[in-house]
């Protein structure tokens, strides 16, 4: 991955995290050490931002910590994140 791509990914991650409310940040931080995400939940892996929105498949293990799970965010925040993610990957 070239420097320009890494910089763009960092900027996109930063922009996505700024869309979270204080309550959402607290909720996600509290759940970070918790169980894996449930099957069928959507999430964005902040370490693999270019994969976009992903779906937790049966028998896969997606642990909280470096992901933004749809279930941990308000519908409005998730919508804003998806729009911003699409802009950042365009």
- Number of domains observed in the structure of the chain: 1
Residue 32 has pLDDT above 70, yes or no: no
What pLDDT, in 10s, does the model give residues 62-80? 767 789 999 899 999 999 9
How is residue 37 annotated by DSSP?
A: P
The whole-angstrom separation of Cα 23 and Cα 8 is 27
Mean pLDDT of 38-43: 88
The reported pLDDT for the residue numbered 20 is: 96
Q: Which residues, other chains included, contact 24 with Cβ-Cβ below 8 Å and sequence gap of 6+? A: 72, 73, 74, 77
Residue span of the structural domain in which 44 resides: 3-89
């Amino acid at each position: 991955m070239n420097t320009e791509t890494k910089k763009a990914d960092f900027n996109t991650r930063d922009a996505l995290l700024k869309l979270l409310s204080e309550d959402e940040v607290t909720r996600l931080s509290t759940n970070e050490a918790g169980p894996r995400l449930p099957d069928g939940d959507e999430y964005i892996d902040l370490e693999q931002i270019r994969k976009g929105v992903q779906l937790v498949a049966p028998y896969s293990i997606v642990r909280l910590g470096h992901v933004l799970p749809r279930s941990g965010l308000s519908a409005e925040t998730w919508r804003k994140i998806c729009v911003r993610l699409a802009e950042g990957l365009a």
